[in-house]
Amino acid sequence: MPKKFFYADGETVDAALDESRSYPRVEFTYTPLTIGEHGQVSDELAAGSGAKIADLARRIIAGHVTRWNVTKPDGSPVDPKKQGEVNRLVPQLVRNVFEVIYDTDAGDLKDAAEPVTEDGLGN
């Protein structure tokens, strides 16, 4: 995700997941979560069971993915808004798309937690 301070209403982000053992390369566009949505998702993740988290991932995909190249075996597109279609996707794909939208990159937290040394640069 590009580094930014602010996303305008309706602004989208392009993302891609590299090919994995489970699925081919996925390219998608999504609307970022607001801080309120992010907090709600965090609460639901902390309190949820596996089934509730899977439902949460489907809801986030349905509400935020605006375009993707995910297709069915016959080549027709998978509609991210249709729960029945998303339910049939490879679980790792659903999890990984969800994680991009939720942005669970622990790197941001680690950077913020690094100690500042006397030179102020972490050296």
Express each pLDDT in 65-81 by its tens digit. Answer: 999 999 999 999 999 99
Whether pLDDT at 123 is above 70: no
- Report the pLDDT averaged over residues 98-123: 59
> What mean pLDDT, rounded, does the chain reach?
86
Residue 111, SS3 per DSSP? helix
Can you spell out the DSSP letters for 81-98? T-HHHHHTS-HHHHHHHH
Tokens 């798309």 sit on residue: 97
Q: How far apart are CA 89 and CA 44, in angstroms?
A: 22
Express each pLDDT in 18-36 by its tens digit. Answer: 999 999 999 999 999 999 9
Cβ–Cβ < 8 Å for 79, 85:
yes
Whether pLDDT at 113 is above 70: no
- What pLDDT does 115 receive? 46
- What pLDDT does 18 receive? 94
Show the DSSP H helices in the chain as ranges.
35-47, 50-64, 83-87, 91-102, 106-113
Whether pLDDT at 93 is above 50: yes
- What pLDDT does 106 receive? 47
Tokens 């930014």 sit on residue: 4
pLDDT higher for 64 or 114? 64
Query: What's the number of CA atoms in the CB half-sphere (13 Å) around residue 64?
Result: 26
pLDDT higher for 55 or 123? 55
